[in-house]
Amino acid sequence: MNPLALTAIVSTFLKTGPDLIRTIGSVFGDEEQETANKVANLVSFASGKPNPEQALNQALSALSPQGLAQLKSLATECEVELARIAANKETTLHQQTQQTIQNGDNSSNAYVSNTRPYMARISGYITGVYVIGLDGAAAFDYGNGASFDMSMLLISPLLAYMGLREMGKWRQGSSALMGISSGLNKLFKRDKAGS
């Protein structure tokens, strides 16, 4: 087996860990499950060594060619499971963020429910003044204009407020354009109401 491929497989197994390797191996037949158990034992043994990648690499290179072929399929399944775990984690974090924002917007305390939209509006106003002012000055050869990085920094509270709220609506199936336009309407209605 190619040493680089074996190193990649070793890295995948070390990220996966022995318990998940055993769980994934239980899905396969008896022969593959036995290989998965051997690999899981080797991973737990190598984890105690000062250089676990090197120790596991040496141990796995001693396997038979058939065992090495089974390693590839086991490593592929481990990568799929790790990707699934990462996707579930991202989805859960997004849902928690959405819930936090909605709880703040639905708060009975006027200060709490108005703070985030107010910060978003102020961020938008400041960014507009910054960009128009510096680009206007640059049109008359005073300076280089607005910095994109600084503009993004200034508008980030507005983008976070609008983006996180509307991304949740978009993920739930609503049109992104309709969600953004309704969010902008709500934002500016609050501004007109004097909040």
Largest CA distance in the chain: 77
Q: Rounded distance, CA 2 to CA 6, Å? A: 6
Highest mean pLDDT among 67-71, 109-113, 185-189 belongs to 109-113
* pLDDT tens per residue across span 27-72: 777 777 787 888 888 888 888 788 888 888 787 777 777 777 778 8
Global pTM reads 0.51
* pLDDT tens per residue across span 87-97: 888 888 877 87
- Residue 192 neighbours by CB distance under 10 Å: 7
Mean pLDDT computed over 159-173: 63
DSSP for 18-46, written as a single string: HHHHHHHHTTS-HHHHHHHHHHHHHHHHH
The pair of three-digit structure tokens given for residue 39, joined into one six-digit string: 């690999």
